[in-house]
Amino acid sequence: MVVPSNEHYDWAKKVKEFDDTKAGVKGLVDAGVAKIPKFFVHPAESLRAPSETTLELPTIDFEGVESGGARRKEVVEEIRTAAGKWGFFRIVNHGVPLHIMDAMLEAIKRFHEQPVEDKMHLYSADSRQRVRFNSNVPQREYDSACWRDILTCVFHDDQLDPDAIPLVCRKEVQEYVKCMIKLREIMAELLSEALGFSSDHLSRIECMKSEALACLYYPICPEPDKTLGTPKHSNTTFLTLLMQDTIGGLQILHDNQWVDVPPVRGALIANIGDLMQVISNDKFISVEHRVLAQPVGPRILVASFFTPSLRAGAKPFAPIKEILSDENPAIYREFLFKEYYEYYKTKGQDVTSALPHFRINE
């Protein structure tokens, strides 16, 4: 939390003025700002210098995985290692056609670069709005805003009224989501097997039967050393599949050092979420990551967050009983998905992961 040194700075007023434009960060860039507003400035400790090293994420080739046999066993073992040691891994030959990926990135760019009057009707911070456009303005006073705009599309139980999706990107979003659902089903099988279960285990508990698409637009930033595109956090989901363009900016915290995760054309990045760490009882890990603001852009990124079905979301989650034993007792208590998500609303940027809050104290 940044408290401006100038005691006359009216944080709430400045945030409201920005929000009322419904133009997002892109509106600031279009207006030619040379300095970012104070409420976008992050504390120095959260802007630790980026690493000059590039992390070589594990890359897993899904070629032949659906045919079973020795190749599938290899992939399952690679996922078990990557999910347990890294929490992030790159996927190639995943079955999502390159032309659909490219079309999706272009469609999201097209949405964000519309005239303000064509998208402002969707501008909302209300999470109940299943299709909404906003600019991440912080809800708690003096939390820092981030240099990005977001179009969010939420598919409960894989369903969303197509007419609710902006026409400018509707076709591409629908095609991309179909691909994400198909890949999610494969991932659910492989992750189940990597945990030592039958391939249908995660599907049966419906922990990834809904998805939220976060379609992010990171405009060029005039003072990238003072803000962030996305602050340090871990994901409040079971699994995230990430598609990024060629600009880069994603970093993960590895061995207490920020390291770059460069984009690879045609590849997707899988990211284990907090709730997968919980149900696996720490067999798989959720890793903190962030996105830098940059002097180049715009950068386009699409994150597919997989969450429980409406039915499963009404039931408590906890470490899977079959994993537990006297030697491997439960690390986390039972809780509802909503309870986990709501924790962040009270803590804001004072917490980057809710996992410690739900641990069983020894």
Note whether 340 and 333 are within 8 A (CB). no
- Distances from the Cα of 48 to the Cαs of 235, 298, 352, 355, in angstroms? 21, 23, 15, 23
Q: For the chain, what is the HEC assignment?
A: CCCCCCCCCCHHHHHHHHHHHCCHHHHHHHCCCCCCCHHHCCCHHHHCCCCCCECCCCEEECCCHHHCHHHHHHHHHHHHHHHHHCCEEEEECCCCCHHHHHHHHHHHHHHHCCCHHHCHHHECCCCCCCEEEECCCCCCCCCCCCCCEEEEEEEECCECCHHHCCCCCHHHHHHHHHHHHHHHHHHHHHHHHHCCCCCCHHHHCCCCCEEEEEEEEECCCCCCCCCEEEEEECCCCCEEEEEECCCCCEEEEECCEEEECCCCCCCEEEEECHHHHHHCCCCCCCCCEEEECCCCCCEEEEEEEEECCHHHHCCCECCCHHHCCCCCCCCECCECHHHHHHHHHHHHHHCCCCHHHHECCC
Parallel, antiparallel or unpaired: strands 239-244 and 299-307: antiparallel
Confidence bin at 47 (pLDDT 50/70/90): confident
Question: Looking at per-residue confidence, does 248 or 240 come out higher?
Answer: 240
Residue 297 has pLDDT above 90, yes or no: no
pLDDT tens for 71-114 read 999 999 999 999 999 999 999 999 999 999 999 999 999 999 99
Query: 141: which 2 tokens?
Result: 């006073």
Sign of the alpha-carbon dihedral angle for 67, 70, 71, 73: positive
Tens of pLDDT, residue by residue over 120-147, are 999 998 889 999 999 976 767 778 899 9
Q: Encode pLDDT of 335-345 as tens digits.
A: 988 888 777 66
Estimate the crossing angle of helix 170-194 against helix 69-85, to 10 degrees.
Answer: 90
Residue 51 pLDDT class (50, 70, 90 cuts): low
CA distances from 329 to 145, 196, 287 (A): 40, 17, 22
Stretch 174-197: mean pLDDT = 97
Please say if the pLDDT value at position 11 is more than 90. no
Which amino acid, one-letter code, is at 303? A
pLDDT at 67: 75
Q: Is the distance from CB of 252 to CB of 259 less than 8 angstroms? A: yes
Residues 6+ apart with CB under 8 A from 49: 258
Confidence of residue 8 (pLDDT cuts 50, 70, 90): low
Contact of 218 with 291, CB cutoff 8 Å: yes
Percent of all residues in the chain with a pLDDT value above 70, rounded to a whole number = 92
Helix 98-112 × helix 170-194 angle, to 10°: 130
Centre a 10 Å sphere on the Cβ of residue 269 and count the other Cβ atoms it contains: 22
Question: Are 43 and 228 within 8 A, CB to CB?
Answer: no
pLDDT at 349 over 60: no
List phi, psi (to 5°) of 90.
-90, 145
Cα-flanking dihedrals φ and ψ of residue 180, to 5°?
Answer: -65, -40
Q: How far apart are CA 154 and CA 60, in angstroms?
A: 28
pLDDT in tens, 56-72: 889 999 998 987 788 99
Per-residue pLDDT, averaged over 294-305, amounts to 94
Residues 203-221 have pLDDT tens digits of 999 999 999 999 999 999 9
